[in-house]
């Protein structure tokens, strides 16, 4: 089982975190497609690469099943984009800072996404993120 820091735990860590409460509770409280949601602590050395990490050098993590989206997924052969879920890879492992930086990994199963996340948690660095095949999505 993956041990993420929950929204509630993140907000309770510091009064500074409370400024994000309405955003986090509004945008990420929906259960539609959300298989996993929380935060991980990122390495201090390259937390700045997140365009502003969440306070305490945290990175938001979300696993979403895109088959629950209200639009139809396309096949990898039918789209020129590599930064969106597809029929072949509908599970999105999404990591984001608190501004304009996010990376995604697209998996065939939730288990595959969880395994990649477990590997990244052991070595939360930008180098490992790239080695695992994440793509820049924002």
Is 2 within a domain?
Answer: no
pTM check: above 0.85: yes
Phi/psi at 45 (5° precision): -65, -40
* Sequence-ordered list of residues with C-beta below 8 angstroms from that of 113, at least 6 positions apart, any chain: 35, 63, 91, 92, 93, 105, 107
Cα separation of 132 and 15, whole Å?
A: 34
Q: What total of structural domains would you count in the chain?
A: 1
CA torsion 138-1-55-94 (nearest 10°) is 10
Task: Confirm whether 1 is domain-assigned.
Answer: no
pLDDT of res. 29 = 57
Beta-strand relationship, 58-65 and 102-107: unpaired
- Written as one string, the DSSP assignment of 20-37 is GHHHHHHHS---TTEEEE
Domain extent at residue 54: 7-136
Kindly report, residue by residue over 114-125, the tens digit of the pLDDT.
999 999 999 999
| pLDDT value at 17 more than 90 | no
Residue 82 lies in a domain: yes
Burial class of residue 66, CB neighbours in 10 A (0-12, 13-18, 19+): middle
Each residue's pLDDT tens digit, 44-97: 888 888 887 888 899 999 999 998 877 789 999 998 888 999 999 999 999 999
Does 95 map to a domain?
yes
């Amino acid at each position: 089982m993956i041990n993420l820091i929950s929204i509630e735990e993140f907000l309770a860590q510091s009064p500074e975190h409370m400024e994000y409460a309405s955003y986090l509770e509004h945008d990420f409280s929906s259960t539609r497609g959300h298989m996993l949601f929380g935060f991980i602590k990122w390495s201090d050395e390259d937390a700045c690469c997140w365009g502003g990490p969440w306070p305490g050098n945290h990175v938001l993590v979300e696993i979403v099943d895109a088959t629950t989206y209200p639009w139809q997924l396309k096949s990898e052969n039918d789209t020129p984009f590599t930064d969106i879920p597809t029929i072949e890879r509908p599970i999105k492992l999404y990591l984001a800072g608190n501004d304009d930086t996010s990376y995604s990994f697209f998996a065939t199963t939730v288990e595959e996404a969880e395994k990649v996340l477990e590997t990244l948690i052991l070595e939360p660095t930008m180098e490992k993120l790239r080695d695992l095949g994440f793509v820049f999505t924002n």
